[in-house]
């Protein structure tokens, strides 16, 4: 039994070292948005995401906190419609947050390279880029 666990841990380490996408590397860090479908980000409106191992994610949309469900299969990523608090912020922040929530639902795949997470639409277009802050 110990050999099976050791082999599993070794395989997971090799996969992470090769830059492969895995739920284990998606789960854990706080991801901070660095690119939102190519748009200029509103200063001081930090957008974050934290993926838990139970298929839920949460974070800040820049104004409101949110949570959503997600599913991973290989590099395929689907995210359900986020539920968010209802605070109102300045128009640019509100618009950016609405766009972010829309893009989360458009997720089709993901890739992790080092401390960077890229989410692409099902068309292959990069829609969100994050960096890990942990």
The CATH number of residue 65's host domain is 2.40.128.270
Q: Are 99 and 128 in contact (CB under 8 A)?
A: no
Residue 13 lies in a domain: no
Backbone angles phi, psi at 47, to 5 degrees: -105, 125
For residue 104, tell me if it sits in a domain: yes
Instruction: Output the six-digit token pair for 112.
Output: 């992790």
Count Cβ atoms below 10 Å from residue 79 Cβ, excluding itself. 21
Instruction: Please indicate, yes or no, if residue 2 is contained in any of the structural domains.
Output: no
Say if 60 falls within a structural domain: yes
Identify whether 24 is part of a domain: yes
Q: What is the pTM of this model?
A: 0.80
Residues near 88 by beta carbon (within 8 Å), at least 6 away in sequence:
63, 94
Whether 30 is in a domain gets the answer yes
Give domain status of residue 15, yes or no: no
The span from the CA of 64 to the CA of 54, in Å, is 22
Structural domain harbouring 92: 20-132
Average pLDDT, the chain: 85
- Report the number of distinct structural domains present in the chain: 1
Q: 29: closest CA among 126, 115, 128? A: 115
Render pLDDT for 22-78 as a digit per residue (tens, 0 to 9).
Answer: 455 899 899 999 999 988 999 999 999 999 999 999 999 999 999 999 999 999 999
């Amino acid at each position: 039994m110990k050999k099976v666990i050791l082999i599993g841990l070794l395989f997971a380490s090799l996969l992470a070292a090769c830059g492969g996408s895995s739920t284990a590397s998606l789960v854990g860090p706080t991801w901070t948005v660095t690119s939102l479908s190519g748009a200029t980000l509103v200063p001081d409106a930090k957008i974050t995401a934290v993926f838990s191992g139970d298929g839920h994610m949460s974070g800040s949309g820049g104004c409101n906190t949110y949570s959503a469900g997600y599913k991973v299969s290989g590099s395929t990523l689907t995210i359900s419609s986020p539920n968010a608090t209802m605070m109102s912020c300045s128009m640019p922040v509100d618009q950016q947050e609405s766009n972010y929530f829309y893009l989360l639902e458009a997720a089709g795949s993901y890739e992790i390279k080092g401390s960077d997470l890229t989410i692409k639409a099902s068309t292959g277009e990069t829609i969100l880029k994050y960096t890990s802050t942990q």
